[in-house]
Amino acid sequence: MTKDTSVPFYDSAKQSTAWLDELQQTLRYKDLILHLVKRDVTSRYKRSILGVAWTMLNPLGMMIILTVIFSQLFGAVEGYAAYILSGLVMWNFFAQSTVSGINSVVWGGDLFRKIYFPRSIFAISAIGTGIVNLLISMVPFIAVSIFIGKLPTINFILVVIPILLLSMFTLGLTLIIASLGVRFPDIVEMYNNILLTAWMYLTPIIYPMDVLPAWVASLMKFNPMFHLLKLFRDPIYYGEPLYPQLLGICTFISVVTLVLGWIIFSRMTDEIAYRS
């Protein structure tokens, strides 16, 4: 039975800057993130026979349905199946990570009542699980691309950068909505049921940009997911490098959202304890 030589000292009155405190604690608990992700991934697959295959079958099934329905309408898009699939894979990551992250922070009360650990860990691990699923669903994407004769180019590996930026944006948004949701649970419902669906249709996931009337297309620049989706599709669907201007826009969006989310959330952590 060994003991740490350094004696930690907790003082409720000494609250250093909230965001810094939360960050330091999160780094201290970083191994917990890994195990929470492992728990989420393995427990999901242990229950079903097809297991990990579901992560691939879900977007694949949606892709087949949408391709059959819309290929007449948007037939002009080259490799339409891969176009949809790239959009769906990315959107699923975003939607699932935010929803599960928000829910575990807002409704994850039982653990919060019992034990201290930095609350942001739940949101971060939800993103981590999302990244694992996203990487798994890249397998059917590559398969479909090859099948329809759109071979991936060397630029494909650049996809890690959009994934990173998207994860930062997703975490920031999760933290913002979770902070609001602790006080107003209806905001969570609104996000899950209305906002997310509307947002999906306002983002060019299943339709190409050029079917939009000019005035709608010009409004698209205010949709952060439009830029992030473009950055994601460039290397994997268009087979192109990352363009500096778009990369700059996406980095800006992601960093601002994450910093904002982190600051708001770390101010709310005490309140989460009181309300859970």
Partner 1 sequence: MKLPTDPSTDNNVVIGIENASVKYFVPRERVGTFKEYAIRKIQRRIINDAFWALSDISFEVKKGEIFGLIGANGAGKSTLLKLVARVLRPSEGRVWVRGRVAPLLAMGAGFHMELSGRENVFLNGTLLGYSQKQILERFDAIVEFAELQDFIDAPMRTYSSGMVARLGFSVATDQMPDVLIVDEALSVGDTAFQKKSIDRIREFQKNGATTLYVTHSMGEIEKTCDRAAWLDHGHLRFVGGPKEAVDLYLDRKPAAA
Residue span 95-114 as binding mask against partner 1, x where in contact by CB under 8 A, dash where not: ----------------xxxx
Q: Is 5 in the site for partner 1 (CB under 8 A)?
A: no
Q: Is 1 in the site for partner 1 (CB under 8 A)?
A: yes
How buried is residue 205: exposed, middle or buried, by Cβ count under 10 Å (0-12/13-18/19+)?
buried
Nearer to partner 1, 108 or 239 (CB): 108
Residues numbered 199-258 forming contacts with partner 1, rule: CB under 8 A? none
DSSP state for residue 8 in the 8-state scheme: P
CA distance 101 to 178: 8
Angle at the Cα of 103 from the Cα atoms of 102 and 104, rounded to 5 degrees:
95
Closest contact distance (angstroms) between CB of 96 and partner 1 is: 19
For the record, the structure tokens of 160 come out as: 């890690």
Q: Please say whether the beta carbons of 248 and 85 come within 8 A.
A: no
Size (the chain), residues: 276
Which amino acid, residue 106? V
CA distance 184 to 186: 5
Indicate which single residue of 19, 21, 23, 32 sits in contact with partner 1 (rule: CB under 8 A). 32
Residues numbered 117-136 forming contacts with partner 1, rule: CB under 8 A? 117
Indicate which single residue of 17, 20, 39, 51 sits in contact with partner 1 (rule: CB under 8 A). 39
Residues numbered 178-207 forming contacts with partner 1, rule: CB under 8 A? 180, 183-187
Q: Which residue has the tokens 């928000």?
A: 102
Which amino acid, residue 271? E
Nearer to partner 1, 43 or 245 (CB): 43
CA distance 210 to 201: 15
Question: 18-28 vs 120-147: helix axis angle to the nearest 10?
Answer: 70
Closest contact distance (angstroms) between CB of 125 and partner 1 is: 11
Nearer to partner 1, 122 or 226 (CB): 122
Closest contact distance (angstroms) between CB of 2 and partner 1 is: 7
Indicate which single residue of 3, 16, 215, 222 sits in contact with partner 1 (rule: CB under 8 A). 3
Indicate which single residue of 19, 21, 38, 202 sits in contact with partner 1 (rule: CB under 8 A). 38
User: Which positions lie near partner 1, rule CB under 8 A?
Assistant: 1-4, 7-13, 15, 28-29, 31-32, 34-36, 38-39, 42-43, 46-47, 111-117, 180, 183-187, 270, 273-274
